[in-house]
Structure 1
Amino acid sequence: MYSKTLALVIAPAVAPLASARTFVVPCEVDIATYCNSVTPRDGRPAACLYAHSDRVTETCHAATTATDSIIEAFFDIVVQTYETCATDIQTHCADVAPDDGRIMACLTRNAAEVEAVCVTAVSKLSAAMKQ
Structure 2
Amino acid sequence: MMNFALGKNSVVLATSALLLASAAQAQGPVVGMLEACEPEITQYCDAVSPGDGRLMACMYAHEDKLSTSCDAAIVDMADALDFLFANARSALAVCAADIEANCADVELGGGRVMSCLKDANEKISSDCQTQVGAFAQQFGLTD
Q: TM-score, normalised by structure 1?
A: 0.60
User: How well do the aligned residues superpose, as a CA RMSD in angstroms?
Assistant: 3.9
5+ unaligned residues in a row in structure 1: which ranges?
A: 39-43
Q: How does 1:36-55 map to 2 (within 5 A)?
A: 38=50, 49-50=55-56, 52=57, 55=60
TM-superposed CA distance for 1:26, in Å, is 2.5
Q: How does 1:51-130 map to 2 (within 5 A)?
A: 52=57, 55-58=60-63, 59-60=65-66, 64-79=70-85, 80=87, 83-86=90-93, 87=96, 88-128=98-138, 129=140
Distance in 2 separating the partners of 1:48 and 1:89: 32
Distance in 2 separating the partners of 1:117 and 1:48: 36
Q: In the superposition, relative to structure 1, how do residues 31 and 14 fare at CA in structure 2: closer, same or farther (>3 Å)? A: farther
Q: TM-score, normalised by structure 2?
A: 0.56
Q: In the superposition, relative to structure 1, how do residues 111 and 130 fare at CA in structure 2: closer, same or farther (>3 Å)? A: closer
User: Number of residues paired by the alignment?
Assistant: 120
Q: In the superposition, relative to structure 1, how do residues 30 and 90 fare at CA in structure 2: closer, same or farther (>3 Å)? A: farther
Matched residue SS, 2:61: coil
Distance in 1 separating the partners of 2:131 and 2:5: 18
Aligned AA for 1:23?
C
Distance in 1 separating the partners of 2:125 and 2:116: 13
Distance in 2 separating the partners of 1:97 and 1:82: 19
Query: What's the % identity of the aligned pairs?
Result: 17
Q: Is the 8 A contact 2:26 2:141 kept in 1?
A: no
Q: Which structure is higher in RCO with an 8 Å CA cutoff and minimum separation 6?
A: 2
Distance in 2 separating the partners of 1:68 and 1:19: 6
